[in-house]
Amino acid sequence: GQQVMQIPQYQHVQEGEDFTTYCNSSTTLSNIQWYKQRPGGHPVFLIQLVKSGEVKKQKRLTFQFGEAKKNSSLHITATQTTDVGTYFCAGKTGGTSYGKLTFGQGTILTVHP
Amino acid sequence: DAGVTQSPTHLIKTRGQQVTLRCSPISGHKSVSWYQQVLGQGPQFIFQYYEKEERGRGNFPDRFSARQFPNYSSELNVNALLLGDSALYLCASSFNMDSNYGYTFGSGTRLTVV
């Protein structure tokens, strides 16, 4: 079945440093979504990417979707302590599984002040 | 405006018992999906319901079942509980099956099987 791998599993940074997490799917995706889960919380939707090579920005966050629509990345510039949490990518393959999101295992981000 | 509400928030059950978890989607949302999140892992898709019909099922045994009611709320049932069923069960709602605006998750039900 479809698998979504995410690296790194953990990332510890000093406040102000940049952070990047990478996501790879075993199959071509129709789109990919990114979620953030704070410790003890639930996933919160950040963004959806649909087009091959798409790049979207939200303030300090930059999201990219690969040309082959099998990989994606999230880059945070100048991290802040409020960025702490687990970042998940979640891929959709479309077809009959409209609503099925296949999540990566997440990258846990720790930011040291 | 209420978000996705799930009940109960925490639950402790014994092996072999049965459990029912409940979810109320955001008002106007017609799709409800259920996910299981084991500690340290990403959520895993269990079911999606849209307009009261099952629209997708993940790789979970038949012990897991769900339904959606006319008011679009949903229940997830798990029979013959195993220790490995201990997890955070998340409900996600969206207006339609294939949301371009992401899914809104509830705070989840933390199930512990002892």
- Are A92 and A32 within 8 A, CB to CB? yes
Q: Which of A1, A4, A98 sits opposite B55 (nearest CB)?
A: A98
Q: Which residue of A has its CA nearest to B101?
A: A48
A113/B contact by beta carbon, under 8 A:
no
| Beta strand A44-49 pairing with A102-103 | unpaired
Q: Which long-range contacts link B59-68 to residues 24+ away (Cβ below 8 Å)?
A: B59/A1, B60/B36, B66/B34, B68/B32
Which pLDDT band holds residue A62 (cuts at 50, 70, 90)? very high
Average pLDDT over residues A5-13: 97
Q: Which of B40, B59, B100 sits opposite A48 (nearest CB)?
A: B100
Torsion of CA A19, A2, A58, A35, to 10 degrees: -80
Question: pLDDT value at position A45?
Answer: 96
Average pLDDT over residues A44-52: 96
A106/B contact by beta carbon, under 8 A:
yes
Question: How do residues A72-103 score in pLDDT, each as one tens digit?
Answer: 999 999 999 999 999 999 998 866 556 789 99
Angle at CA B100, nearest 5°, toward A29 and A64? 50
The 3-state DSSP class for residue A80 equals: coil
Assess whether pLDDT exceeds 60 at residue B1: no
Give the residue carrying structure tokens 């999201």: A63
Question: pLDDT value at position B111?
Answer: 98
Question: pLDDT value at position B2?
Answer: 65
Sequence letter at residue B20: T
| Beta strand A10-14 pairing with A107-112 | parallel
Q: Provide, rounded to the nearest whole percent, the portion of chain A with pLDDT above 70.
A: 96
Which of A13-17, B86-90, B94-98 has the weakest average pLDDT? B94-98
Taking contacts as CB-CB distances below 8 angstroms, the residues of chain B near A48 are 100-102
The beta-strand segments (E) located in chain A are 4-7, 10-14, 19-25, 31-37, 44-49, 55-58, 61-65, 71-76, 85-92, 102-103, 107-112
Q: 10 Å Cβ neighbour count for B23? A: 27
Assess whether pLDDT exceeds 90 at residue A108: yes
Q: Could you give the CA distance from residue A61 to residue B23 in angstroms, rounded to a whole number? A: 31
